[in-house]
Amino acid sequence: MAKKNNDLAHTKWMCKYHIVFTPKYRRKMIYNQLKMDIRDILKQLCSYKGVEIIEGHIMPDHIHILFDAKPNLNLAEFVNAFKSASSRNIRKQFSEELKPYYWKPYFWSLSYFIGTVSDRTSTAVKEYIKNQKNE
C-alpha cells in the first residue's frame, strides 16, 4: 500500500523510479572535484520539482538516483528539465574548471536510463545503488 503522505482526496500512489545518467564523454571529473556541489545542485532541483530522492550515488562517470514522484510527473520532461537546469548551474559555478573539457554548452550526455521500481524491489535497488563503488 502507498504511504500515507502519497495520497490526495481520491488517489493513492507509489511511483518510484531509478535513473542513471552520465556526463558528456563520460569524463571522470565529477567524482573528484565537483561531487558535493553536483549533489547539492541535484537535491535542490529535485526538491523544487517536488521529487523525493530515496537513494543516490555519484560514481566517477555516472550518477544513480532512486526517487519517488507524483503520478502526474511527465518523466521525459522532468529528466530534460533536470539535466538542462543542473547543466546550467554546474557550468555557471565551474566554468573555469570545465572549459578545457567541455567546449560546448552541455554537461550531461543526451542518453539516460530510467526504470520503474516496485515496493518489493526498491530495497534491492537501494542496495545496488549503495554498493556501486564496490562493483
Residue for grid cell 558528456: 24
Catalytic residue at 128?
yes
Q: Which residue out of 31, 106, 112, 128 is catalytically annotated?
A: 128
DSSP 8-state code for residue 3: -
How many secondary structure helices (H) and strands (E) does the chain include? 5, 4
**CA distance linking residue 42 with residue 65, whole number of Å:** 10
Residues that are catalytic: 128
